Amino acid sequence: MSVTVAKSAGFCFGVSRAVELVENAAKEGKRTVTLGPIIHNRHVVNRFQEMGVRVIQQPEEATSEDTVIIRSHGVSREVCQRLEKQGANIIDATCPFVKRIHNLVAQAEEAGQLPIIIGTPTHPEVEGIAGWCSHCKVFADVESLEKWVADEHISPDLPVCMVSQTTSTEFLWKKCVNFAKKQFTYLKTFDTICRATECRQSEASALSQRCQAMVVVGDLKSSNTGRLAMICREHCDKVVLVDNASELDADFFRGVSDVGITAGASTPAWIIKEVNKTMSEITNVEAVQEENFAELLEQSIKTLNTGDKVVGTVTGIGNTEVQVDLGTKHAGYIPYDEVSTDASVKPEDVLKVGDEIEVFVVRVNDQEGTVQLSKKKLDGLKVWDDMAGYVENKTTIDAVITEENKGGLVANVKGVRVFIPASQSGIAKGGDMAGMVGKPVQLKITEVNRARRRAIGSIRAVTSEQRKAAQEKIWSEIEVGKQYHGTVKSLTSYGAFVDIGGVDGMVHVSELSWNRIKTPADVVKVGDEIDVYVISFDPEKHKISLGYKTAEMNPWNQFMAKYSVGDVVEAKIVKLMTFGAFAEILPGVDGLIHISQIADRRIGKPEDVLSEGQVVQVKITDIAENKRISLSIRALLEQPDEDAE
């Protein structure tokens, strides 16, 4: 005969989290109470009572000195408010998947939709969900849903939001959704069945199809356990639901060759182990050791202590945890959220069956015979060693800004939140801090507090260091005439300050342009990248005078390179005088049209023929050494008509 235990049997993530919160509160010496049984398993509840944990049924039973733990099923909004009114310290152990359903129904009602819950109306989880909206409908099956629609003559235009109890079956959910899709025009559905529950039910279904008998382990009051038994009975004739190993009857399994074992989400690992051991004895699958099982468990647990660093081998990767063989008779496991400091990492991406890993012992559970392990905590310890080294060695490290808060920025360094005060961000007061989110940066860790798990960093320390190095390089190599590519940092009435790579130099307004300008802003603006050259410098005073205008930019040089005497050009009249008119040939280069050269006849004054802004054709008649240019319109008017000749 063979006995097979379902891999997904036992505590789910939400239950494991709730149990852990109660244990921690009790061990810390707090006056701990749970609002109703923390989970549907009397063995766990009894053990907590032995630890001094009381069970209360109403919020009003709590006092301000109590630490009240809300069970994994969750409670209504009204119950939360009543608890707060009592002034007790509240620890919410509501399963995160159930919490999501609370938000869904509350948001649906705000949006004008009717929340419909598929589940057992009297189940604590369903009652809690219904308590997060003022009006909803709960249906245990598709028949009751159909009857409500028919009896109440429900309009197809009714906006509906449909969710499910986390422990409901996929079969029931799909039947209800298919009916609702045909009935309601405005329908939103959220498949809120817990994936761990779905996996456990699927595995139970598959196991019951190939086994001649099934053992379902769990509290008789547990909805989750009851559904598992129901699923198993669909495929297997011999199904027994037991609370613990003592309820197993050897006669029930006579003539059976294959037995499957599954367990509800509220069933502790130690009960599953006892059932498996008892079934092994009944079916004679393996020799039963003479030593007392409890004694062996006691001996093996004594070899491990909380805080130990141990090496184990990965034996399985389940839906909520990774199983690890530590070389003892402990059931070692790593919850998914303890695998990596990076929440986006999936366990199967970094671990595989057969891997040897070093882990940290989080908790040794004597009664259940399990050891909770953490790879994340061990990695975290190593990370804090690294962080301390960064401070000591003043190491520059790469990081990514993850968020902005009131006091500065937060960066991620190897999974550690590093706070960067605003004064150390390198951003000017009033600058765009939010614009840094998501960007990679370089920083130095300036302070580490292991006890408080706090790290402080500085981007400014890196930029200051880089700027100092750049300054030293510039001052060691600077010389008159040397060219630099710089960035305009600020403008004043008398010039522009330009960063040439860690050192600021000043371009006087007279060195910005060959033309007359009113302010530096007429030529450049802050942020512009420009090429400049050194006119003079003073290392002692750390002052550098820069030039921007070059000989190539000189309008006179441009004119001389392009034009000569005899050329005909277009010019714009810029000023009228009594003796003639000045015309601009190029920006910064003007020529004089004497009054005698404006027309081919005698005129009284230039404005009789010309006006400012007018563009005319002129001939260059003379270019003097003192950069004076003579122009003539008359010369063009008096030219003979060559075509006519």
Phi, psi of 21 (to 5 degrees): -65, -40
Distance, C-alpha 360 to centroid of its chain = 26
Count of CB atoms within 10 A of residue 572's CB? 14
Contact 167, 227 (CB under 8 A): yes
Q: Which of 65, 125, 290, 552 is catalytic?
A: 125
User: Dihedral, CA atoms, 397, 400, 404, 408, nearest 10 degrees?
Assistant: 10
3-state class of 418 per DSSP? strand
Q: What is the edge-to-edge ordering of all strands in the sheet holding 54-56? A: 54-56, 32-35, 67-70, 89-92
Distance, C-alpha 409 to centroid of its chain = 14
Count of CB atoms within 10 A of residue 38's CB? 24
Whether the CA torsion 288, 294, 295, 301 is positive or negative: it is positive
Distance (Å, rounded) from C-alpha 373 to C-alpha 384?
19
H helices then E strands: how many in the chain?
16, 32
Distance (Å, rounded) from C-alpha 292 to C-alpha 287?
14
Would you list the DSSP string of 2-48? Answer: EEEE-TT-S--HHHHHHHHHHHHHHHTT--EEEES-SSS-HHHHHHH
188 exposed, middle or buried (CB, 10 Å; 0-12, 13-18, 19+)?
middle
Q: Which of 452, 455, 384 is nearest to 417 (CA)?
A: 455
Distance (Å, rounded) from C-alpha 329 to C-alpha 277?
13
Q: Which residues pair with 591 in a beta bridge?
A: 583
3-state class of 362 per DSSP? strand
Q: What is the edge-to-edge ordering of all strands in the sheet holding 160-164? A: 137-139, 114-118, 160-164, 187-189
Task: Please report, as a single letter, which amino acid is at residue 301.
Answer: I
Distance (Å, rounded) from C-alpha 547 to C-alpha 508?
8
125 is catalytic: yes
Contact 249, 256 (CB under 8 A): no
Q: Which of 433, 430, 400, 435 is nearest to 415 (CA)?
A: 400
> Which segments within 272-336 are labelled E, that is strand?
309-317, 321-325, 331-335
Strands 580-586 and 568-577: antiparallel
Task: List residues with catalytic annotation.
Answer: 125
